[in-house]
Structures are given as structure tokens and as C-alpha cells.
Amino acid sequence: MQLWRINETTFNFRVYGGQFWGVDSNGALVATATTPGPSETFQIVRRDSDKTRVRIRAPNGLFLQAKTMASVTADPAGEYTDWSDNDPSVFLVNNVGNLYGEYQICNGYGIARATQVLRSHWDTFITEDDFKFIALCGLNAVRIPVGWWIASDPNPPLPFVGGSLQALDNAFRWARNYNIGVIVDLHAAPGSQNPYDHSATRDGSQEWGTTDANIAQTVQVIEFLVSRYANNTALLAVELLNEPLAPGTTLPSLTKYYQDGYNAVRRYTPTAYVIMSNRLQIADQKELLQFASGFPGAVLDVHYYNLFDSKFENLTVEQNIDFVRNNRSADLATITNQNGRPLTFVGEWSAAWGVQGANPTDYQRFARVQQDVYGNATFGWAYWTLQNVNAVWNMTFMIQNGIITLK
């Protein structure tokens, strides 16, 4: 079961098959609606002394209660409680996981507070000084993730708040000032192309690409971005989608979108590169190679982390380094055509790993072998990320402390 939060006490309950709880004319709990409305909106009332004990007020104004082992109803019999274990209108709740990301920030805080929080973040997290630092280090491009709602800024659909477009405008201005290329990366597509926080999923569901209308909506976002920045000399590339996850994102849906998205970019600029991300969790890393080779200026994006997979859990320092030198090098060579089409891009990598007790020299060696191997990518690489509260994910920290050195 997944909760769709409306405010602090009001929720929709999404269950199997993407359907939502509701109450029928007899007061029985049912799940038939695929889109929630007032009839699928419930209020959660928590016990003051024990927040894990709750009662759930149904749309008909009455509390749910377990009627039998197989049925739940909302009727007058559940109106009074002593919060005991014997009360069928009292439920125990157990939080099995948290979601993060911009959707959750906006939905949790509400418009007024989320606007304050995010605008403070946009104003301070990355500033012009960071672009100056990038240029001084000899780096020549930035990859900037954006969400689909940016196309509706300053009045995006709820729960999102306005301001991200101004932040992107600022980044383009600073990039132009310091001769830095910008890769605009659609990191969160409508419906979410993976179930992870960074796709702005509402409840961990992945529903991008399931309809032609959804794909068309995503293409409109690309068209908005390219039409806005096509004449800005800082625009280097447009990444059509970040990390679509297989099998939820099917190959036919993805290639249809990449075809349409490429055409949208080319309507405004003949020179910007068009980046196409490989699907996550696929056996054949070459599945897009022939397809992408048919598009001039296309770039194939792969992300390499010695994390997020059980095979990395117990590797030593030397084993991690050898894996990059041997396996990653072979993987990259596999998707690199001798004719240069498509170009290859290691769009994300990091010096983060699962090694315990590693010293600075270990991190230096691990970062260096990745730079050496990923330097063979014909479009280059991008570190994730420039700033982060965790030092190893913070490229600025890694450079300033000599862990990462740039030739």
C-alpha cells in the first residue's frame, strides 16, 4: 500500500493495480478508481500518546473498521473508541520506507514553506563562484538535472513550486560568462522513468512511457527547454532522459521517445548534441548502439558506480581498482564505435565505494583509475556531483583536498 499525502492528515491510499481505496454506497471499502478524487480521500487520526495507532475517517465521514477477516466498512459502529487492541476501528501503522526528492519536499512542506526552502537552496547551493571554480580547474561543462515541471514555471502543477527556471537561467548566464558548456538533463519525466527519488516519483511507482500522450508530454518539455536556450552559446547538449529503468521502461517506448525528442531538438538547433541514456538493469549494454548511430550528434550515456550492486559489497581497494581498469574499460569499449557514432559519455561516476577504512591515497587511486578509463569516452565524463553534504560525492571537496586531480 502507498500513501498519497494531500496534507498533514488527509491521504489517498493506492493499492494493487494502481487503484485507490474508496467506500461504496453500503459503506464497504472498495478499490476501483484509478484516479483519486474526494470519494477516495481519507483522514488519518492518530492517537496522541501513540502515533502508530490510527483511525481512518472515510469519505462518508465515518471511521473504517475491520468488520470481518475479509471486509472493512465505514459505518456508525466505529464512531467511539478507547484505542484498545479489541477496537476494530483502530489500526497499527508501520512505515516501511521513506521517499525523498523534490516532489516530497513540496508535498510535505506545502506551497508557502516549500517555496522558501527551495528558493533558499537555489540561491545558495550553486552560485556564480562555483562556475568560476569550475573554469579555474579546467573543467569545461556542467550537467544540470531538471524536472519536467520546469516547463510550467513559474506556476507548475501542484505540489511543485516555481523558481527552478530562474535557477536554470542563472546557470546559463554564469556558464556563458566563464565559457562553460551546459548539458540540460531531463532527470525527472512525467510519471517517473524509474522509482527512485531523483525521478520525483510520488510513491515509488514507475509509469513513464506507458502511453503516447505521456511521451508527447515529455517531448513538449524538451521542446520548451531547447526553444528557450537554443540561441544561448552555452548550450552544449540536451539529455532526453536520465536513467530509464528496465523492464518498466520498454525499449520500444524509449526509442520512440528518443526519435521524437531528437527531432524536437533539431527543430531549434542543428548543433546541440542529443544525449540518450542507456536503460538501467539491462544485460546488453549495446541495445541502443545501432539505433543511436543513426542520429548525427547523438551521444550514448552510461553511468558507472562501484555501488548499488551486491557484487561490489566485499571488494577490496585493489579489486575495485582492477574492476574499473578491466571490466569498465571493456564495457566502454563495447559501446564505442570506431566511426565515432554515437559518441559515448560516462554521464555519472563517483569515487564513492563500499570499502571500509580506505585512506586518502586509496581514494586518490580509485578516482585516478576512473578518470583514466572514462577519459576514453568520446564525449567525456561528468562527476556526480559538484556539491554534496557527503565529501566523497562532493567534487569541489575532492579537488580542493587533492583527492581528484585534473590534468
Which residues carry out catalysis? 243, 348
For residue 172, the SS3 value is helix
Quote the CA–CA distance of 389 and 405 in Å, as a whole number. Answer: 20
Give Cα 102 to chain centroid, integer Å.
9
Q: Are 383 and 305 in contact (CB under 8 A)?
A: no
For residue 387, the SS3 value is coil
Which residues does 290 contact at the CB level (< 8 Å), separation at least 6? none
Pairing of strands 298-304, 343-349: parallel
The answer to whether the Cα torsion of 375, 379, 380, 384 is positive or negative is negative
Select from 164, 137, 136, 132 the least CA-distant residue to 148. 164
Read out DSSP for 76-136? Answer: GGGS-----TT-TT-EE--------SHHHHHHHH-HHHHHHHHHHHHHHSS-HHHHHHHHH
